[in-house]
Amino acid sequence: MTTSNVTVHRYDPEIDDEPTFENYEVPVSEATSVLDTLFHIQEEQKENLSFRFSCRQGVCGSCGMEINGEARLACQTAVSDLDDPDDIRVRPLYNLPVIKDLTVDMDDFFEKFVEIDPSFESESLDETTDTAVIDPDSTERQRIAPRTDCIGCGACFSGCSVAGETYLGPAAINKALTLIEDSRDDKTEERLERLQEQDGVWGCHTQGNCSNVCPKDIPISEGIQYLKREAIKHGVKDALFPSSD
Amino acid sequence: MAAYEERETDILIVGAGGAGMFAALYADDNTPDDTDITVVVKKLAGKSGCTRMVQGGYNAVLHPEDSIDRHYEDTIKGGKFLNDQEIARELVEGAPKIIRKLENELGVFFDRDEDGHIHQKPFAGQSFDRTVHKGDLTGIEIMTKLRDELLTRDVEFLEETRAIDILTDESGAGAAGSLLLDMRRGEFIAMASRMTLLATGAGATMYNISTPALEKSADGQAMAYRRGARFQDMEMMQFHPTGLLAGDTKLTGGVIEEGIRGEGAHLYNGEDERFLREYAPETMERSCRDVVSIASYKEIMAGRGTENGGVWLDATHLGADVVEEKFPGMTERTRNVGQDLSNTRVEVSPTSHYHMGGAVIDEQCHSDVPRLFVAGEDAGGAHGANRLGGNGVVDSTVLGKCAGEAMAEEFHDHEIGDISHSQVTDIIDRVTAPLEREEGEDIYELREDLEMTMWECVGVVREESELEESLDRIESYKERLERVSVPGSKRYNLTWNEVMDVRNLIIAAEMVARSALFREESRGAHYRNDFPEPDDENWLANVYVQQGDDGMETSREDVRFTRIHPSELEVEPTIPNTDAVQGDD
């Protein structure tokens, strides 16, 4: 057991003019995660720290935060794996408003999902019909498969240099891709039209930060580039065959 | 004077795991557009609870050679005949419809066979390969799509808002809403409703080693209990045999997939003995969950465990490449905590997993309290003494649907009533008391004591003297709880939140301990050292607990075999078919 110096972003917008960073000495072992250090500060050092967690196993995506400058899941970040395990600095995700300390308001993040209409819709399938036969080796399925592993943690949104006010952001576009590629779904055109707008796929500056920080290794950036091509194709089709709507 | 906001909604749903979300979906599908449906969840919607964490899958009869009757019989046999047979039937009949709903209307992707049809894998205790899944991330897929769907519906979500207590109507008997706490703002909301559903996911976290998400704290069970609801089979707490021991970290208790034992991994005690030779020489590590859990627990409690109070799981003889390739997620999980399943033994322990017991409900999820519904793991009946792997998410989704439909049908019959101001202020005064105390008990220490008591005295193996001891200790925890002090304000105060969690866990823990003391036999998940055999003559009965005038009252009734009698089914062998892949949901 050694100790690490954990520097934590403290901010209560209702009381504090600006955020501060507080230092805590926390005992750590080979097994200690960054989330564990926060629990230690909370439970043993009796600090009233606000942070979000749920499954502690990398499934729920609740404990996304910036750890030593990189958006990560605190539960999946072993202190011993950090480049500098003696000195840990945690702050809330970027691009989202802070509720308190390390907790951010995810409403804006999920509002972007609503914009791409995440609701699946099929005219031919319903509760009474057999499920569709989908070839597991098909290009469609292969393209969708890794992208449905998204746990909505917001790491990509935090890592993105253009996410914020208007740009849809990497997670929502990744979600749109899973639906656009899904041949069972009937709203492909509408979603492509939304993505064609300036704050859709064209808002992406192709820096690849989203893919780099994604804890589930989803090829988000590549997917956005793919959708740019699809959007162009769609735009061309609209221009050539305007009466097809 | 306690301040609070007053609001109202037609249908109030507490909990946003599988049961709560399905209830919201079906309530919305079956009500007019102007109906107010509100979902209250103390974490983020769709991102908390146990359905989200399902790795294994979803049991549903889809194949022409399988049948509803077979799934039903498997479920009843698995439950050692304690199931509520009508609820169990509802479950298996509803499952295929939910699979179609999920894929065809919500766009879920389950894994496919080579021919493109839904793939179904074998799970222990089932006579047919019927477990539908998406890799080992089935829960994420279901919950993500459910949330996506509900994001576009006119259903209001109050996130990071916890329900504290059910409010009653003038007669004092029916549910008229709930007192809520918006944790972010630290403000109370008295929410009046016509119908209220509790779907908060029970409290397997009452043990120090447990698998569920950390927020599950028997909130729904405790709220229902405080309003007089009746509970059944609370002694039936399922333990998974191989929870990872990761020292003093919150990862402790997380599941190491049972498939690795199916693959041939061995278990050793602290004295380097393959101890299952003593307990199940024929099937060894491939024995079913309860056998392995009981064996491991006995070794640990007899002082033959590892230094950290577990046993060793050894897969090294399978070869690092095989382990890494077949169990990448599990290997990574152990590496995260400084161990490595592919080339070293890892420490594991039985881990508290799923509560079969819960509030007594009917097939539409009505509890005994008028206008109060209970669904998912908060409710009992479906699984009897033991839940089959793959039947848990069926429970959440099917019964969530039933509750949603029933509330949609019945809410017209009730007006939104007045909330009692004095009742609200009494509750607020009680829950804010710890914030007023300058000094007092530490809630985290109290929680740890409760968890250790449950582990030591109401664990995998039980006996009278220890159960009596646990009840004495629980009594002292109730007193300590009244002396807890919490620093800080009401806003986003995790320590204060913990007090409310522990308050609920203590009630559920007492229900478990009292029921375990009452059932003098061993059956399914309940093992009594002093009564090690099943006693069909006396104990084909459900155990009930309910709040009485002088505290918790325990009683029993014979199981009603409404569809199938034990004599009509072959006796389940102690050791199941070992060819079947073990389930981990």
CATH code at B405?
3.50.50.60
Domain identity same for B145 and B84: yes
Instruction: Give the position of tokens 């569709």.
Output: A132
Domain identity same for B170 and B283: no
A125, B250: Cβ pair inside 8 Å? Answer: no
Task: Locate B89 and state its tokens.
Answer: 């039937």
Cα–Cα distance list, A117 to A177, A190, A202, A235, B517 (Å): 12, 9, 18, 20, 53
Total count of domains within chain B: 2
Single-letter amino acid code for the residue at B143: M
Shortest Cα–Cα distance, A3 to chain B (Å): 14
Q: ∠ at Cα B318 (B315, B323), nearest 5°?
A: 70
* Residue B420 resides in a domain: no
Between A198 and B304, the higher pLDDT residue: B304
- Dist. CA B374–CA B200, nearest whole Å: 9
Domain around B345: 238-353
- Dist. CA B488–CA B269, nearest whole Å: 45
Phi, psi of B7 (to 5 degrees): -140, 170
Poorest-pLDDT segment among A120-124, A170-174, B328-332, B374-378: B328-332
B338, A30: Cβ pair inside 8 Å? Answer: yes
Domain identity same for B253 and B164: no
Boundary-marking domain end, from B397, B413, B429: B413
Interface of B with A in 39-98 (CB under 8 A): 43-44, 47-48, 52-53, 97
Shortest Cα–Cα distance, B533 to chain A (Å): 36
Domain identity same for B151 and B245: no
Instruction: Give the position of tokens 């091509």.
Output: A229
Contact by Cβ (8 Å): A3, A28 = yes
Quick: pLDDT tens for B83-106.
999 999 999 999 999 999 999 999
Single-letter amino acid code for the residue at B99: I
Domain identity same for B366 and B272: no
Task: Locate B172 and state its tokens.
Answer: 């004092």
What DSSP string runs through B276-336?
HHHH-TTTGGGS-HHHHHHHHHHHIIIIIS-TTS-EEEE-GGG-HHHHHHH-HHHHHHHHH
Domain identity same for B283 and B174: no
Cα–Cα distance list, B166 to A60, A87, B196 (Å): 28, 46, 9
Shortest Cα–Cα distance, B248 to chain A (Å): 8
Positions of chain A with pLDDT under 50: 244-245
Average pLDDT over residues B467-471: 98
* Residue B579 resides in a domain: no
Average pLDDT over residues B171-183: 93
- CB nearest to A106's CB, from B44, B116, B140: B44
Looking at residue B56, its pLDDT comes to 82
Contact by Cβ (8 Å): B313, B241 = no
Domain identity same for B85 and B204: yes
Q: ∠ at Cα B365 (B205, A121), nearest 5°?
A: 90
- Which of A3, A42, A56 is the best residue to mutate to test the B interface, defined by the most B CB atoms within 10 Å of its own CB? A56
Poorest-pLDDT segment among B3-17, B284-298, B496-510: B284-298
Whether the predicted pLDDT of B576 surpasses 50: no
- Which residue in chain B has the smallest CA separation from A80? B338
Instruction: Give the position of tokens 């989202």.
Output: A96
Boundary-marking domain end, from B413, B428, B453: B413
A55, B53: Cβ pair inside 8 Å? Answer: yes
- Dist. CA B123–CA B582, nearest whole Å: 5
Average confidence score pLDDT of chain B: 94
Burial class from Cβ neighbours inside 10 Å (0-12, 13-18, 19+) for residue A53 reads buried
Domain identity same for B379 and B406: yes
Q: Which domains does chain A have, with CATH numbers?
A: 2-104 (3.10.20.30), 107-240 (1.10.1060.10)
Using only C-alpha atoms, what is the Rg of chain A?
Answer: 21
- CB nearest to B97's CB, from A125, A127, A145: A127
Contact by Cβ (8 Å): A243, A223 = no
- CB nearest to B116's CB, from A103, A119, A133: A133
Q: What is the three-state SS of B486-538?
A: CCCCCCCCHHHHHHHHHHHHHHHHHHHHHHHHHCCCCECCEEECCECCCCHHH
* Residue B176 resides in a domain: yes
Classified as helix, coil or strand, B365 is coil
Nearest to B217 by CA among B2, B533, B469, B507: B507
Average pLDDT over residues B166-195: 95
A119, B114: Cβ pair inside 8 Å? Answer: no
Quick: pLDDT tens for B28-87.
999 999 999 999 999 999 998 899 998 889 999 999 999 999 999 999 999 999 999 999
pTM here is: 0.96
Give the H/E segment covering residue B406: helix B392-410
Whether the predicted pLDDT of B577 surpasses 80: no
- Dist. CA B42–CA B550, nearest whole Å: 32
- Dist. CA A130–CA B103, nearest whole Å: 9
Domain identity same for B383 and B312: no
Domain identity same for B29 and B171: yes
Whether the predicted pLDDT of B582 surpasses 70: no
Whether the predicted pLDDT of B1 surpasses 70: no
**Lateral strand order in the sheet of B231-232:** B358-359, B231-232, B541-548, B551-558
Known catalytic residues of B are: 289
State the greatest distance between any 2 C-alpha atoms of chain B, in Å, as a whole number. 67
* Residue B516 resides in a domain: no
Residues of A in contact with B330 (CB under 8 A): none
A36, B144: Cβ pair inside 8 Å? Answer: no
Whichever domain contains B324, its CATH number is 3.90.700.10
* Residue B460 resides in a domain: no
The verdict on A136 touching B (C-beta cutoff 8 Å) is: yes
- CB nearest to B116's CB, from A29, A134, A179: A134
Quick: pLDDT tens for B492-521.
999 999 999 999 999 999 999 999 999 999
Contact by Cβ (8 Å): B458, B467 = yes
Boundary-marking domain end, from B368, B396, B413: B413
Cα–Cα distance list, A53 to A110, A186, B45 (Å): 18, 36, 13
Classified as helix, coil or strand, B218 is coil
Classified as helix, coil or strand, A90 is strand
The verdict on B336 touching A (C-beta cutoff 8 Å) is: yes
Q: How many CB atoms lie within 10 A of CB B420?
A: 16
Domain identity same for B405 and B341: no
- Dist. CA B477–CA B410, nearest whole Å: 40
Residues of A in contact with B53 (CB under 8 A): 55, 57, 59-60
Distance of CA B567 to the CA centre of its chain: 30
Whether the predicted pLDDT of B573 surpasses 50: no
Give the H/E segment covering residue B176: strand B175-182
Contact by Cβ (8 Å): A80, A144 = no
Residues in a beta bridge with B5: B189
Q: Strands B175-182 and B161-168: what pairing?
A: antiparallel
Contact by Cβ (8 Å): A172, A147 = no
Residues of A in contact with B213 (CB under 8 A): 54-56, 60
Poorest-pLDDT segment among A164-168, B197-201, B392-396, B577-581: B577-581
Q: What is the three-state SS of B115-137?
A: CCCECEECCCCCCCCCEECCCCC
Task: Locate B115 and state its tokens.
Answer: 């021919």
* Residue B321 resides in a domain: yes
Nearest to B486 by CA among B547, B437, B423, B525: B437
Q: Strands B58-59 and B37-41: what pairing?
A: unpaired
* Residue B151 resides in a domain: yes
Domain identity same for B115 and B263: no
* Residue B317 resides in a domain: yes
Residues of A in contact with B152 (CB under 8 A): 114, 117-119
B151, A101: Cβ pair inside 8 Å? Answer: no
Cα–Cα distance list, A176 to A113, A172, A215 (Å): 8, 6, 19
